[in-house]
Chains A and B, each alone.
Chain A
Amino acid sequence: MDIEPFMLRAVLTALFLGPLCGFIGVFVTARRMSFFSDTVAHAALAGVALGFWLGLPDPTVPMILFSLVIAGLILWLKERTALLNDTIMALLLSGSVALGMVILSLLKGYRGELDRYLFGDILSVGWGDAALALVVLITVGSVLFWKLNALALLTAHSDLAHVSGVPVRWLNYGFVALLTVTVALSIRLLGIILVTSLVVIPPAAARNLARSLRQQILLSLFLGLIGASGGVILSYPLNLPSGPCITLTLAGLFVLSLLGSRLQRAHQNAS
């Protein structure tokens, strides 16, 4: 069977980013950082617009950089002001989207680009994106495994982590940077609006079936892989944007996990 090159690039990118989002998502959901993930994703819109404004053919770099700036700003405001987390993130999310829209409105001929960044487009995934996704999978995945104990302890109790010798502040900054890069890169596939679904749904579905953190991480990796690649493959024959297809595939997997968990419980009660 012949496979179109653009499809191959998109499926490979999904195979790289799906499990990574599933892995990092276990800690994002447990640390209640879903809204953070959503904020840095929306910040990417301003990065994309800035990239076009600067005349760059590929806005991936400004997209990632602008998301990192907003992530840093969230941490800075959290430490330096009395503002609540939610307030800071809502402020930066709406501010970034507004800035992005204003820049795109001022530029002629880029309004059409908006949809592919909002909802994902497999046609926009280049070989460079696929290679970058592989590099990010290897580096971010390795760091997450290397720092697994420290991250799990930080999730359980930050003071306890500090007393156990974990450099809490640096680990927190590092985690935020890894999450931001992973999310910003996944925007190509899922779009700004839906990208958080790949970070949140796999760990939530895995939690329904898992009995330990080890199982939850492995299942979440697997569900991220199936959801992302399955969604991309479905989007081609259905002629739909890849973002909604991935999100609906993940939602379907979540429903299946709920049914699985019911069956598990019924089986336990019977035995």
Chain B
Amino acid sequence: MDIAFRSQKSAAVEVQDLHVRLGGNPVLRGVNLRIEAGRMVALIGPNGSGKTTLLRCLLGLQKPDSGSVRLLQEGPPGPGILKRMGYVPQRLQLDPSFMLTVREFLAIRRPLTASWFWRPSRQIDALLHEAVGEMDVTRLLDRPVAGLSGGQLQRVLICSSLLNEPELLLLDEPTAGVDTPGEADFYELIAEVHRRRGLTVVLVSHDLSMVYRHASRVYALNGVICCEGAPEEVMNAESLRQAYGIHFTPYQHQHPHSHGSHGH
């Protein structure tokens, strides 16, 4: 895989002098960001730092007051570019009264399976085979989506976003509903997808520990990008103090190790 080569060639995300005000308050105050193609990066920041607003700008859900967003070397997020992107939200808004199964959820996200309603399950499974196997969700196919645990749902959401063969994958707080032991496995899985497919992955998170282990570059946001660089550079106290405020005590691993019974 020529990830390094690709990363020198192009930018998957380019944001210039982005300003957004919400309810009169400046949320983004001149964000400049360049994410090279093929990287797995993290966008971190405390609550209220504008992470969600920036993510919404990247997805075309929030119109900026000024500044520009250019994705995949093409332009601002529009229908054509969004087809080349994947988005994994924190959770779904599904009511338990809606009996949508995992198989059906994957089928409705795959453009070719528009006629899934009248197709037998095995035909749908054949169309979904690759992504389902990659994310190991085969045994969940018959389960209602509303009844999945946080970790299972995240797998299904990533699986569904891979069906379009995206070049850029945006994940919003991907481990928000995942229990602590499941987090490490989950990030390993994303890292594996990233390695195998060579796509650009942007993790938006306030969870520093896993980001530290898996992201190749970290961008700390607090209205503006206050620091960026390799995880070990950004995670030093001074940079984080700028991003998170003076009272913040970062929860992070200072050394690579696996989780044992001692906990953290």
The answer to whether A213 touches B59 (Cβ under 8 A) is no
B25 to chain A, nearest CB (A): 15
A230 to B: closest C-beta gap in Å: 23
Q: Tell me the bound Cα distance from A149 to B111 in angstroms.
A: 9
Residues of A within 8 A of B105 (CB): 152, 156
The distance from the CB of A101 to the nearest CB of chain B, in whole angstroms, is: 34
Residue contact A213 to B87, C-beta cutoff 8 Å = no
Give Cα distance in the complex from A152 to B89, angstroms: 16
A152, B116: Cα distance in complex, Å: 12
B99 near A213 (CB under 8 angstroms)?
A: yes
A160-B108 Cα distance, complex, nearest whole Å: 12
Closest chain-B Cβ to A161's Cβ sits at a distance in Å of 10
Decide if B92 touches A157 in the complex (CB within 8 Å): yes
- Selected from B89, B95, B116, B142, the residue in CB contact (under 8 A) with A211 is B142
| Contact with A148, one of B60, B87, B92, B117 (Cβ below 8 angstroms) | B117
CB distance from B119 to the nearest CB of A (A): 10
> Which one of A25-33, A55-63, A85-93, A131-139 contacts B?
A25-33
Give the chain A neighbours of B116 by CB distance below 8 A: 149
**Which of B61, B92, B98 has the largest number of chain A CB atoms within 10 A?**
B98
- Total interface residues on B, CB under 8 Å, equals 30
B94 touches which one: A30, A159, A207, A212 (CB < 8 A)? A30
Chain B 92-104 interface 0/1 with A at a Cβ cutoff of 8 Å (1 = within): 1111011111011
* 11 additional contacts (CB under 8 A) given A155-B94, A214-B104: A32-B95, A145-B117, A156-B145, A157-B89, A157-B92, A158-B93, A163-B60, A163-B61, A212-B142, A213-B99, A216-B99
Q: How far apart sit A163 and B60, CA to CA, in the bound complex (Å)? A: 8
B118 (CB) vs chain A CBs: closest residue: A214
Query: Chain A: how many interface residues by the 8 Å CB criterion?
Result: 31
Flag if B89 contacts A215 (CB, 8 Å). Answer: no
Once the chains are docked, how many angstroms separate the CA of A108 from the CA of B87? 61
Q: Give the shortest distance, in Å, between A34 (CB) and chain B (any CB).
A: 10
Most buried by A among B56, B60, B79, B104: B104
Closest chain-B Cβ to A83's Cβ sits at a distance in Å of 16
B102's closest neighbor in chain A, by CB?
Answer: A212
List residues of B (68-118) whose CB comes within 8 Å of A's CBs: 79, 82-83, 85, 87, 89, 92-95, 97-101, 103-105, 108-109, 114, 116-117
